[in-house]
Amino acid sequence: MKQTNEVLGRFGTTVFEVMSKLAMENKAINLGQGFPDEDGPEDVRAMAAKGFVEGPNQYPPMMGTKELRNAVAHSNHRFYGIAVEPDTDIIVTSGATEALNDCLMALINPGDEVVLLEPLYDCYLPLVLRAGGIPKFVRLDPPHWELSKERLDAAFSEKTKLLLLNTPMNPTGKVFTAEELQLLADYVQKYDAYAVCDEVYEHITFGLARHIPLCTLHGMGDRTVRIGSAGKTFSLTGWKVGYITGCTELIGKIAKAHQFVTFTTPPALQNAVAFGLEKDDEFYNDLQDSMQAKRDFFRNALNDIGFETADCDGTYFINADIRSIGYEGTDVEFCQEIITKAGVAALPVSAFYATEGAVNHFVRFCFCKREDVLTTAIRRLEEFFNGND
């Protein structure tokens, strides 16, 4: 048989699928793959159900239903003061993953360099490579995930076509500050590159941390697109409804990829998401408050067991240093051990690094779970590591 695609052939099954399967087999509490254990707003789900029964159920417009494009345009303005045209500056996609793929397919040519910040979300590297891009990594290290100018200097060059940025960032929980974003914007402009910003956790930030879209920085509007996902904002990760916002020219180019990838997304889901996006401030504040309460609870409980935790200002992930409790193996061994012996699943942070010599003593816990679930997970970890004392 002839060889199938060699780029994708190099990758195994995604860590999310592997660990969720293991969690199920071991009846472990799954704090690995990131998904909430309570579904998002009932009225949004009811709206989708009504749409499925009453229609429309045929192909919606390729750029997305008018309802959702209007709602995305409105939320850009409402939350960040970004003014966009719903008809030309927005594409609705089947999840942020499709959006990322469309952007990479449309904006880079084989041989172009793409700057990626490590640790990175799992689909970034395969999608960049499949589009023919050459990855240039900028590594961030726990526990503070600081951006190093030296590493940026080494990654950016005249060959840079695109920066792929994720803020708030999975798996770190980092929310890039205005200063850090300005630094990145300076590099992007200096090398005349594009920026694709994965902002799926835009509404999940804590304390004083605020999400700032890179496209709002001076000079970035024409070279940046931002990606959102209803999966995160409405705790409906199975829906896979995403949206890309950018200037008319870039959106036009990206639409060329979208039209040949999925073309459209179920209209009932789109219109329900449109309804959801228009929810009042209370909904968005509650989302932040409830996620922050879960982070505080889980972080404190990990700290009480003896784990030191890395900074976490956004997303629903927190990273714990396994050496801080005297564990001497790798993060992969740690995850195997706790899943089989303690009944708790987490993810090894090394799975999110692509370069050699990656950090291998941090594990990522997903904390968007009911309090009783988090409490049981903590009790299991406590008993496993500290026995009965």
In the complex, what is the shortest distance from the CB of residue 187 to ligand GLN, in angstroms, rounded to a whole number?
26
Nearest approach in angstroms of CB 17 to ligand GLN is 7
Indicate the residue among 271 and 315 with the shorter CB distance to ligand GLN: 315
Angle at 124 between CA 121 and CA 126, to 5 degrees: 125
User: Taking the complex as a whole, how short is the minimal distance between the CB of residue 178 and ligand GLN, in angstroms?
Assistant: 26
Place of tokens 């890179």: 214
> How many whole angstroms separate alpha carbon 364 and alpha carbon 325?
15
Q: Contact residues for ligand GLN (CB under 6 A)?
A: 16, 33-34, 170
Q: To the nearest whole angstrom, how small is the minimum distance from the Cβ of residue 313 to ligand GLN?
A: 17
Report yes or no: 335 and 346 within 8 Å, Cβ to Cβ: yes
Interior CA angle at 186 toward 218 and 80, to 5°? 35
34 versus 40: smaller Cβ distance to ligand GLN: 34
Closest separation in Å from C-beta 16 to ligand GLN: 3
DSSP state of 350: G
Q: What is the DSSP string of 43-101?
A: HHHHHHHHHHHHS--S---TT--HHHHHHHHHHHHHHH-----TTTSEEEESHHHHHHH
**CA atoms of 175 and 145, how far apart (whole Å):** 10
**Using CA atoms, how far apart are residues 109 and 90, in angstroms rounded to an integer?**
23
| 193 versus 244: smaller Cβ distance to ligand GLN | 244
Distance of CA 64 to the CA centre of its chain: 22
Give the residue with the Cβ less far from ligand GLN, 200 or 244.
200
Smallest distance, ligand GLN to C-beta of residue 83, A: 30
Beta strands in the chain (DSSP E): 29-30, 90-93, 113-118, 134-139, 160-166, 194-198, 224-229, 242-245, 308-309, 317-321, 344-345, 347-348, 362-366
Please identify, using beta-carbon distances, which residue of 244 and 368 lies nearer to ligand GLN.
368
Closer to ligand GLN at the Cβ: 101 or 160?
A: 101
Among all residues, whose Cβ is closest to ligand GLN? 34
Q: How far is the CB of 95 from ligand GLN (least distance, A)?
A: 9
Beta carbon nearer to ligand GLN, 194 or 243 = 243
